[in-house]
Structure 1
């Protein structure tokens, strides 16, 4: 794990030798080194190492190694010098020598070797060394990143990346928007009477410089706002242009540390313009502390939210991100850690806030190698993990210090991918297209819908899920054809989207994608007048055996159905016969089906003929085929529990009148018994035999009639006796 470093003679915040000269390290002030010959090259090397002069120390260590190649400490120190100098190629060589000759050495070197191998794109080897290191959580996250390389490299064509034309041979990094142009940090050389350099890698001190990317005639110039005699660090100009927040070493308040050496921590400062536009003297942040460092600040556009990096006690790792809010009295709240979703056991730094999008660099989350760039939603930190921005913004080296426009279509970032800390531009030839998935009937959002994007040849390119508001977005190449569909279980697509994306705007809003579950609209009318009936209650169940739904208690209601399904609808209204209907929903994607239930009024004394009730000749025994008709009567009685009926049986005129009367009574009682066995209460049924007394067609005694005419008279009827 990288610790905060003490830097000789000036400030340099970094974890990897010279990672932009401004990662988190402390400052050590000593008297000028005495260059008297030392007793041995090892003592000289240790002295330079202790002074953070790693480029000099490594030469002394390597000279000593030539004399004593069995010295484990010499090899480990050479490896560490190259780690701190961010020379992953040499660091890999020497750490491999160390672990081969002394396999039992401290496990931290295994993790360091894995990091160097990742930077050198030797991911298979890196996976092995991460696996055998003792940093379980960190190592697992790094292995997960290697396993996700395909995903992280997938969008490498989305952005065009080019080196900033004003990069110098020295370190240039941490751009920020300034007035009409860009400001950045640089250790570029300047002509001075006295040469001032930084021991770590013998670079110059860091200062702010600015340029106007739209005016090539304007030279790069040093900013007169904040540059003192030592390092300045990352910061941000207020959106209003009236202030700046930045990092500076606390030289004037340095504490004594390590044998009398003065150690200064990084601190945050604010500077404001007066009425004439002049920058006033910097003001220290309320929570600066000489016991730890605070730096890399970013401030929201309303100037009320400050986020920065710090190694203050109580964090999750080496450096964490913290947040402070502007209070009503214009003071800043006590900083709070942004939590474990953002912060890891590694280093989180270089935050940049654009609305609610928090961009930052980390070497603790899954990534491509060293520091990678990430984005997180500031209002959803408790539920969402940061997203790696992927290639080409990220590389196997260190990538950090990003700024971007509101649409993330263009911006700048820092990287040492070319061997030195440089600034890079990025821009995209893609357009963000934003859409939503809604229900067809009432335009309600549908969350969790799978939205599919297809290529020009009909191939599936990408699938994502709509959020809780039904929203989704894709980034589409400019001047391309966009085809989208959506799907969700039990829903059906009404119509997809086919559009041409020109890329003329930062963001294109798409029309909604509508999904539907077929709707069955219900109406209830009087069968005689066809007028609507108020107060109906309808209960629906999907056939064949689904449990009924809750009753729908109003006319004109509707229910969601499935294409090709059958539903039974039970409709009841006071004063009308309850009725069971069956509705079949077409198997096609028809969004709306209308069903009208026609009800008949209940009339006391009304008779209803029952067909298909048959008896054996001269017998009261029901034939099997009669039971189906009586089952319907049983259901009718169950649906209309307020009715009392007469179950009347009639014969034809053949045979004596007395015989026919007796036979019809027995048949009526036989039918009534069947219904009672089906659960109909006996007191709701009155069996009544009429014999041949009520023939329908004049086929009385002595009249010659056909068999069909006699069959017409043999019947069973229901007569409504009472309505309770």
Structure 2
């Protein structure tokens, strides 16, 4: 029995020593950034003691620091239950948010409030709560953009950050790797390229970057190529060699006649322990944007900008500010020619981890941040946007569910349905009224079409049938002016509003609608009197009544359409008062009409008021009221045509 007890004691002691050995091994792996190895080691410890809080802590942190926080939930939950703290609840909330378990995430963030009095931590925690609530109202920035996995280009490993330059698509990939990156347990990354024309990539011939050799045993990350193609900048890091740079940094290669130089470390990196990555050039190549965790930011990883100097180096980086940067992480910048700034962030309101956003200015010049929406973003990481035809087509990267491998390359296209086109074909028929009252075609008349902006939309001479045809837009207002020597010019308004079918009801891509209108021109004959109908005055009065004003407005229009004519406006009475009275009354009425037209903008020197009283009766022996009305008339005649 004693021997048996000693044997059991020896096993327990051996297990304790082995566990301690695993603890030390896991600590070393974690501190050296070998997070996946640390996860494997501490998982062994948990298999023997599931309540080991230290092991839970290291696994949770390893997942978080290797950008897999969604997998850390059970470990942070264990910490929150057994040893609650602000950090355990806060990171549990972030893990739940990354899985779109939003209600549970809010509960975790609310509990985190009770474990700190630090204003900065409380503000960051509240920002997470508000971001979840704001994400519910996010609308698609491009509602008709469709995202598709580029399955032929992707592998089971990581493929991301494509950049198109000079008919080649450059991207980062884990293919052809010779070693495993200890932090994630995935292959080291290299740079590749393939021939491409826009979204069409020749996936049959994908080669390692030919400009310079990929290095083994470290990660070659996101690449940027200057607009002129002469500068390549990429991120490089995670080497296990103690002689190498301790952090991810930016390297540059320059075209020098015969080829590209060997990559060199860039001064914009700053201190060796600062992390710098995801570079991108401005459209004109004068500025370099990149992500960095250097001091002076707003927390996590921020976006910075450096301006190219006269010697082609880049100056001191400047932080892009608190509108773009948050206490979270901002990466993968992309400036577009119209001044919009696209980037990835997990700090602005989104759907999970990294989402794609755009910073743009409103009418007042204020910069606004907009999430690109659910047709572009997912609950997983979405990043690395590049446009092949801005803003209609391009690429993004994502590790969303349903992909080919780890990070995948996706392409997007604008699939906005082509609008149904409706053409309005207006036939304008120009006619004249003959002396006998008949209507005849009037060829060789100049007809001009103006839009609502008073700009000419078309013009032509009427053909032998007096017709001119214009193509017009639906639901629009126009003015048509017809003019011909020896005739009064005439302008008429014309609208196509309500005269065409609803495009939503159409089947064909193009529908032509034919409409007709007629313009009748009157001959312009000097000294020929033209009666103005319906010009009435109250008994013994000369004031212009509203119904008379309506008719006089027509004469105002004629004068406006024919600026070269000068007219006499005459008033005539019947014979039922004395000659002197009728002459005075008719003069006052004629002058009243002229004054009205002057008030409407007609120059006074183009108008002559003349009262004829009863001196020009049409029916000299008028007896009925109708006959007297014929004699009581207002006329005008052209007395001069000015050059």
Match of 1:138, SS? helix
Partner of 2:171: 184
Q: Is the 8 A contact 1:55 1:202 kept in 2?
A: yes
Shift of 1:426: 1.5
1:160 to 146, 149, 152: 146
CA displacement 1:283-310 (0-9 Å, x = unmatched): 4433332242322111123211111111
Partner of 1:316: 298
| Residues 1:56 and 1:310: Cα distance change in structure 2 (over 3 Å) | closer
Partner of 1:170: 157
Q: Given the alignment of the two structures, is residue 364 of structure 1 paired with residue 332 of structure 2, yes or no?
A: no
Q: Is the 8 A contact 1:177 1:236 kept in 2?
A: no
Shift of 1:311: 1.5
Question: After the TM superposition, which of the residue ranges 239-248 and 201-210 deviates more from structure 2?
Answer: 239-248
Instruction: Write out aligned runs for 1:451-530 (5 A).
Output: none
Q: Tell me the distance in 2 between the aligned counterparts of 1:343 and 1:314.
A: 11
Q: Is the 8 A contact 2:85 2:112 kept in 1?
A: no
Shift of 1:221: 1.1
Q: Tell me the distance in 2 between the aligned counterparts of 1:244 and 1:483.
A: 52
Q: Is the 8 A contact 1:413 1:423 kept in 2?
A: yes
Partner of 1:303: 285
Shift of 1:378: 8.1
1:60 to 41, 48, 59: 41
Q: Is the 8 A contact 2:280 2:334 kept in 1?
A: yes
Partner of 1:374: 357
Unpaired segments ≥5 residues, structure 2: 1-16, 114-120, 420-451, 456-472, 477-495, 505-596, 603-643
Match of 2:394, SS? strand
Partner of 1:237: 225
Shift of 1:52: 2.7
Q: Tell me the distance in 1 between the aligned counterparts of 2:40 and 2:31.
A: 14
Instruction: Write out aligned runs for 1:575-724 (5 A).
Output: 596=600
Partner of 1:112: 91
Instruction: Write out aligned runs for 1:415-434 (5 A).
Output: 415-418=398-401, 420-430=406-416
| Residues 1:239 and 1:197: Cα distance change in structure 2 (over 3 Å) | same
- Pick the structure with more helix per residue: 2
Partner of 2:133: 147
Match of 2:108, SS? helix
Q: Tell me the distance in 2 between the aligned counterparts of 1:597 and 1:174.
A: 67
Q: Tell me the distance in 1 between the aligned counterparts of 2:278 and 2:25.
A: 34
Normalising by structure 2, we get a TM-score of 0.57
Match of 1:424, SS? strand
Shift of 1:414: 1.2
Partner of 2:379: 396
Q: Is the 8 A contact 1:482 1:499 kept in 2?
A: no
Partner of 1:279: 260
Q: Given the alignment of the two structures, is residue 265 of structure 1 paired with residue 263 of structure 2, yes or no?
A: no
Instruction: Write out aligned runs for 1:184-223 (5 A).
Output: 184-190=171-177, 195-213=178-196, 214=200, 216=202, 218-223=204-209
| Residues 1:253 and 1:72: Cα distance change in structure 2 (over 3 Å) | closer
CA displacement 1:611-635 (0-9 Å, x = unmatched): xxxxxxxxxxxxxxxxxxxxxxxxx
1:405 to 388, 403, 416: 388
Q: Tell me the distance in 2 between the aligned counterparts of 1:236 and 1:483.
A: 48
CA displacement 1:435-458 (0-9 Å, x = unmatched): xxxxx8899xxxxxxxxxxxxxxx
2:100 to 101, 113, 121: 121
Count, aligned residues: 412
Shift of 1:92: 1.6
Q: Is the 8 A contact 1:247 1:297 kept in 2?
A: yes
Match of 1:395, SS? coil
Normalising by structure 1, we get a TM-score of 0.51
CA RMSD of aligned residues (A): 4.0
| Residues 1:75 and 1:269: Cα distance change in structure 2 (over 3 Å) | closer
Shift of 1:402: 1.2
Shift of 1:61: 1.9
Shift of 1:215: 5.6
Q: Tell me the distance in 2 between the aligned counterparts of 1:498 and 1:303.
A: 49
Q: Tell me the distance in 1 between the aligned counterparts of 2:175 and 2:182.
A: 15
Q: Is the 8 A contact 1:308 1:322 kept in 2?
A: yes
